Amino acid sequence: MIIDHAALWAAETNTYVAAPAAGGPGVVIDAPPDLDGIVALLDRHRIAPVALLVTHGHIDHTGGSGTLVARTGVAAYLHPDDEFLAAHPAEQLQMLFGGIPPGDYRPPDRFTALTDGMQLALAGLDITVVHTPGHTPGHCAFHLPGEGILFSGDHLFAGSIGRTDLPGGDFATLMESMRTKILPLPDDTEVLPGHGPATTVGRERTRNPFIRDLLGA
């Protein structure tokens, strides 16, 4: 199986590609506003994308979704509770930079709606959608149970968690998602986050201060 990533755009967002093998179909997880970087990642393994899975609606994860869809024709998936974010990239850019840097940040004409527990069979991969609100209302992680891999987006990082001070964020909700959706996964589940290095559920259970507080450790 091929899983590779590149840290793209100003926020160094981890964009992932996943495929059963090089030279065939695959999926893209998250699309920051860097089409050339995404295409280079796909070309590295000669992967033909069949879908874009977006963990949440923040500009650094969805700002390149419109251009990727226009370039490749793939279907883009997003939880509907985050469409209010993805639909207004200019507002997010103003908040982040005080202006709008040059670029095409338009979302696709439509997103295919993700739902909690949804089973996706894409490019020969079996992917379970795990709705993990808290960082944003519609935040989703993508679990490949057969591979022991979780694409955690901005919910869980190595040694930390996603921020909850942006519109739609809520700390209590994030931690409840952690307790009910993430921590029940096997400890050897590899966590591939939206920023920073990979980790495992077991490592975060014992070392992450937010999770240790949650568990009363």
pLDDT of residue 80: 98
pLDDT at 96 over 90: no
> Which of 47, 54, 203, 61 shows the shortest CA–CA distance to 129?
54
pLDDT of residue 97: 82
Residue keyed to tokens 């949804």: 118
CATH top-level class of 2-215: alpha beta
How do residues 122-174 score in pLDDT, each as one tens digit?
Answer: 999 999 999 999 999 999 999 999 999 999 999 999 999 999 999 999 999 99
Q: In a 10 Å sphere around its CB, with 0-12 CB exposed, 13-18 middle and 19+ buried, how is residue 202 labelled?
A: middle
Q: What is the pTM of this model?
A: 0.97
Between CA 47 and CA 168 the distance in angstroms is: 35
How do residues 98-126 score in pLDDT, each as one tens digit?
Answer: 888 888 999 999 999 999 999 999 999 99
How do residues 41-76 score in pLDDT, each as one tens digit?
Answer: 999 999 999 999 999 999 999 999 999 999 999 999
pLDDT of residue 102: 86
Instruction: State both tokens at 101.
Output: 């840097």
Q: Considering the chain, what percentage of its residues have pLDDT values greater than 70? A: 100
How do residues 187-214 score in pLDDT, each as one tens digit?
Answer: 999 999 999 999 999 999 999 999 999 9
Across the beta sheet with 125-131, the strand order is 119-122, 125-131, 140-144, 149-153, 190-193, 199-200
In degrees, to the nearest 5, what angle opens at C-alpha 166 toward C-alphas 133 and 198? 60
Across the beta sheet with 25-29, the strand order is 2-8, 13-19, 25-29, 48-53, 75-78, 112-113
pLDDT of residue 98: 87
In degrees, to the nearest 5, what angle opens at C-alpha 48 toward C-alphas 45 and 50? 135
Asked whether 15 and 32 are in contact (CB, 8 A), the reply is yes
- Across the chain, mean pLDDT equals 97
DSSP assignment string, 151-183: EEETTEETTEE----STT--HHHHHHHIIIIIT
Rg (CA), the chain: 16
